[in-house]
Amino acid sequence: MRFPQKAIVLLSGGLDSATALWWAVHKKKWSCRALLFDYGQRHRKELISAKKLATRVSCPTQTVTLRLPWGGSSLLDKTKSLPSKPLNNIGKGKIPSTYVPARNTIFLSYALSWADVVGADHIVIGANALDYSGYPDCRPNYLRAMEKVGNLGTRQGTEKNRPPKIWAPLLRLTKTKIIKMGLELGVPYELTWSCYQGQSTPCGQCDSCQLRAKGFHQSHHADPALL
C-alpha cells in the first residue's frame, strides 16, 4: 500500500481556498491538513465556514491566532470603511486598503513551520492573480520566492532534501473558471463565506462580494450561499 502524500492547505473559508482544498483532496488525492488563521479579520466568521468545509472532507484543522500590533489594514479595523470600487476597476491601480501587510508571507511561514513538523511535501494556497483585489502577495513571482525560502530555511528542505512545494492551483484562473472547477469537484459553496464585512448576510458591495457575484453570474449558476 502506498501512503498518500501530505499537504497543508491554507483555508480561509472563502470560495477560493475551499476550491483549492477540494482540488488537493479530490484531484491530487493528498492527505490534507487545513491551516486556519484568526488574525483579527473583521469577517472572522469565515472561520466557522472553514471548519465546516474541513469537516466535510474529514480534514484535520489547526487554527493559529495572531495579531499584528501595527494594524495597517481596513480588513483589521471595523472603524475603517471598506473600498467598493466599480467591478471593472477592482485590482487595477493602487493596492487597496484591505491589503493586510505581508499577510500571505506570514501565513505561508506558519504553513512551512507546520509542514516541517509533520513532514508535508505540499503547501496549497488559493491565491489568484486574475480576478483578485490587487494584492502583491498573490502573484506568481512572489509565490516562487516564498517556495525558495521554504527550500532553504526548513529542515525538510535541507537536512531531509524534501523541500515543500507551494501550489496555487487557482493562480491563473478567472473567478468563473474557479467556480466551474469547484462545481465539478463538488465544493459545497453554500458553506463558504466571502464578504469582508462580517455581518449576518453578505453586503454585496465589497470587492470580495462583487468578484464572487461576477463569478457565479458568468458561470451561469446561482450562488448557493444566497439561496
Binding site for a second copy (CB under 8 A): 62-72, 94-95, 99-106, 108-110, 112-114, 116-118, 136-137, 139, 141-142, 145-146, 148-155, 157-159
User: Least distance in Å: CB of 100 to a second copy?
Assistant: 8
**Toward a second copy, which CB reaches closer, 103 or 175?**
103
Burial of 50 (0-12, 13-18, 19+ CB in 10 A): buried
Nearer to a second copy, 73 or 192 (CB): 73
Instruction: Report the SS3 class of residue 6.
Output: strand
**Of residues 14 and 96, the one with the C-beta less far from a second copy:** 96
Shortest distance (Å) from residue 47 CB to a second copy: 15
Q: How many angstroms from the chain centroid is the CA of residue 10?
A: 6
Checking DSSP bridges between strand 6-10 and strand 122-124, what pairing results, if any?
A: parallel
Residue type, position 93, single letter: G
Compute the half-sphere exposure of residue 163: CA atoms within 13 Å on the CB side of its CA.
Answer: 14
Residue 55 or 63: the one with the smaller Cβ distance to a second copy is: 63
Q: How far is the CB of 150 from a second copy (least distance, A)?
A: 8
Segments in the chain forming alpha helices (H): 15-22, 46-56, 103-118, 140-153, 175-185, 207-218
The residues, any chain, with a CB within 8 Å of residue 59's CB and separated by 6 or more, are 9, 21, 25, 32, 33, 34
CB of 3 to a second copy, least distance (A): 20
CB of 178 to a second copy, least distance (A): 22
By C-beta, is 113 or 174 nearer to a second copy? 113
